[in-house]
Chains A and B, each alone.
Chain A
């Protein structure tokens, strides 16, 4: 049985690893590699957000009838994270090490507190209420195991 918590938490961990590699590259002033890793981080993170906003959240909202509930809060935080990600990109582009590390730390802390709320509350709830909708989720989210 495919687990929403496992799949989406796995994407969090994968993005964390890319972020950590990028930070290392910036630390050793390897800017071409940092730029490449930033692009991967940006692509993966934004893909994850749209997996949630266009895949998971609408199904959750339909099933629970909670339009203004936790998914609303999470969408708001995504907006903030997108802006931080953009600032991070600008700092990488201008090769400003202090700005990358400072903005990166800000992005990372905010992202972690966001992820922990999803992993501890939202995903477990989604796993409970969306047991019958996993097939539909697989159609909307690329890579989500289509199941048995």
Chain B
């Protein structure tokens, strides 16, 4: 057991997670711009290329970008292990993920066969490489506890998603490869439920009670929900009977709703009463997950008669409502803490004489709570308008929502950028 790795001094360099985190709002801005220019049209069907461009700006550019950055940070500190050759690996993963996502968005936007191929050649290897590196790191890790197990399952689902995505990209690019729509459902299912949901469950059951001072999650949920989600997803993908597959996917939807309800209940019983913007981001995110699961369940009951906008609505709720909200909230906990931690590093590493009082800004001085609150309100308002736009197929509302989304991500970029600039200013003076 490698207990030395518990040390915060072994945290990867400041740059490792921050390069990912600063790229996150840039892709949020890109997604908002695409919605603004393509108008309400793209919110009406999940199959339109323009819709898929926005979807992948969110899933890869925003969500995966944040989660990969967070995992590079968490492996050493929380799980007592580290990604092989962390610093160069993180630079490579960040560079390829950014370039590959831009290519893919452009490929959907302009329907360019060559761009689909380039995107697949950039994204598939880098995501498989990341999954493999994480699995290797976890094999060497100190603990096989709850979060480690969920991370292992989630990155395996990421690999499945990336593989299917590569095949779909080839279908867009090469006439010889038939474009199989059925594969899209597997690709989306493994990406949303296997990668995003399992990872959020695994991490939230640890961090919500700890940092947001709620009672702990029930032990059975903490332990069994991630593997159960994956088993149901697997059953829903490959079971021989149609009814079995449908039943598994419905059960998965119900479990997602249960997790959202338990989370909302715990957040309600939070002990600290001070306003904390992260709590509101998590509440909004869990409410959206609950709504997305409700819509999925409804569509299941209605069978083929449910309209196409229902799928778009559920997707918007899950991605922009659930995943983006909880990530945004986590960034506001992690980034100020990392700025503070890395400014304290000379003291923690014993590089200054004991007893020296080194001034360090407190966490509220890194990002002012008031500015985080404004960004939360912009994000929530953007979400409400976009949801209303889809429900009412109203292009004007979609564009208004896009403007707010743009403003929200602009402010997020400004807030994170201010934190990094503060770090750079003080780090230079030590």
Contacts and interface: CB of A to CB of B under 8 A. Distances in A.
A23 B273 CA distance: 8
Nearest to B146: A120
Range of interface residues on chain A? 20 to 34
A27 B8 contact: no
Interface in B330-358: 333, 337, 340, 344, 347-348, 350, 354, 357
Contacts of A121: 3, 6, 80, 142-143
Contacts of A16: 213, 271
Nearest to B10: A73
Interface in B1-48: 3-4, 6-9
A10 interface: no
Q: For the complex, would chain B's binding face be called helix, strand, loop or mixed by DSSP majority?
A: helix
Interface string B116-154: 000000000000000000000000001101000000000
B364 A102 contact: yes
Contacts of A80: 344, 347-348
A20 interface: yes
A121 B144 CA distance: 12
A76 B348 contact: yes
Contact of B271 (A20, A98, A116): A20
Given A80-B347, A121-B6, A105 B145 contact: no
Contacts of A116: 206, 210
Given A80-B347, A105-B364, A109-B363, A73 B6 contact: yes
A103 interface: yes
A5 interface: no
A8 to B, nearest CB: 16
A63 interface: no
Contacts of B271: 16-17, 20
Interface string A13-36: 000110010011001000000000
A52 to B, nearest CB: 15
Contact of A98 (B77, B211, B354, B364): B364
Interface string B42-60: 0000000000000000000
Interface string B201-235: 00000100011010000000000000000000000
Nearest to A77: B8
A112 interface: yes
B142 A105 contact: no
A32 B200 CA distance: 42
A18 to B, nearest CB: 12
A69 interface: yes
Interface string A70-88: 1001001101100100000
A51 B77 CA distance: 25
Nearest to A74: B6
A122 B142 CA distance: 12
Given A27-B273, A27-B274, A112-B210, A69 B363 contact: no
Nearest to A116: B210
Nearest to B364: A102
Contacts of A98: 364
A57 to B, nearest CB: 13
Contacts of B211: 109, 112
A60 B347 CA distance: 26
A98 B362 CA distance: 10
A106 B348 contact: no
B4 A73 contact: yes
B363 A120 contact: no
Interface string A104-126: 01100110110011001110000
A27 B276 CA distance: 13
B365 interface: yes
A100 B63 CA distance: 34
B272 interface: yes
A2 interface: no
Contact of A106 (B7, B210, B363): B363
A71 B143 CA distance: 18
Contacts of B363: 102, 105-106, 109
A120 B272 contact: no
A102 B142 CA distance: 33
A101 interface: yes
Contacts of B9: 73
Contacts of A46: none
Contacts of A113: 8, 77, 210
Given A106-B363, A109-B211, A112-B211, A20 B348 contact: no
Interface of B: 3-4, 6-9, 77, 80, 142-143, 145, 206, 210-211, 213, 271-274, 333, 337, 340, 344, 347-348, 350, 354, 357, 362-365
Interface of A: 16-17, 20, 23-24, 27, 66, 69-70, 73, 76-77, 79-80, 83, 98-99, 101-103, 105-106, 109-110, 112-113, 116-117, 120-122
Given A73-B7, A76-B350, A120-B145, 13 more contacts: A16-B271, A20-B273, A27-B273, A70-B3, A76-B348, A80-B344, A101-B364, A105-B362, A112-B210, A116-B210, A120-B143, A121-B142, A121-B143
13 contacts: A16-B271, A20-B272, A27-B273, A69-B3, A69-B4, A73-B8, A83-B357, A98-B364, A105-B362, A105-B363, A112-B211, A121-B142, A122-B3
